[in-house]
Structure 1
Amino acid sequence: MSEVRVHLAKEIVADLWRHKLQIFLSVAVLVTAFAVILVTNMTRGLTAQQNDLMAEEDRLNIEWRHLLLEQGTLAEHSRVASLAMDKLQMGRPLVTTEKVITQP
């Protein structure tokens, strides 16, 4: 029986070289799978951020509408006149005390 000594490292390298296309495709599949995982994770984060921003927008729109109502209420003519009379003791001038100034 003749004994042939085979170098295992050389055989492994030769086998890998023969199947380089399959190895390349396997590595490409793994890289693509990790890329899909990364993109999915980033998409989830951005979707959550978008939902938070939309909720903030809704809250700000509600606050804006409330402020517009408050402005309308505070600027109402009858309220301003009432405050001027009550707090500042302002009133319409009498015709007898009214003075008209004209420029020459």
Structure 2
Amino acid sequence: MSAVRINLAKEIGLDLLRHKWQILLALVVIGSALLVIVVTQGTRQLTSEYNELMAEQDRLDIEWRHLLLEQNTLMEHSRIEALARDNLDMQRPAPADEKLVAPR
């Protein structure tokens, strides 16, 4: 056995100084990997939000089409009523003038 004592902390420090570029590159690679993870997670969240918004847009589009159909139906009824009133001089009968017919 050798009687020489090596200062371990000093040797580690010197070794780190000798390989500073390799250590720096390793830290850059680790940082890059962490950034890839963060960006991937952000992309997944944005894709999920985009899909939810597209589904909401589809629901709203369907509702809008139903409302257009309802509006057209109501406009057609009021148009017929206006034509009957204006062109044919028709009017809605008063409740006293209505006669109920019983089924046989």
Aligned CA distance change for structure 1 residues 35 and 79 (closer, same or farther; 3 Å)? farther
Q: Which has the higher helix share?
A: 2
Counterpart check, 1:58 vs 2:61: no
Stretches of structure 2 that go unaligned for 5 or more consecutive residues are 85-89, 95-104
In structure 2, C-alpha distance between the alignment counterparts of 1:85 and 1:23, rounded to whole Å: 94
Aligned CA distance change for structure 1 residues 72 and 38 (closer, same or farther; 3 Å)? same
Counterpart check, 1:78 vs 2:80: yes
2:28 aligns with 28
Cα deviations across residues 16-58 of structure 1 (Å, max 9, x unaligned)? 0000000011111111111101110110010000000001001
Task: Point out 4+ residue stretches in structure 1 off by more than 3 angstroms.
Answer: 79-82
Stretches of structure 1 that go unaligned for 5 or more consecutive residues are 90-104
In structure 2, C-alpha distance between the alignment counterparts of 1:13 and 1:30, rounded to whole Å: 21
TM-score by length of 1: 0.74
Identity %: 55
The number of residue pairs the alignment matches comes to 87
Q: CA RMSD in A?
A: 2.2
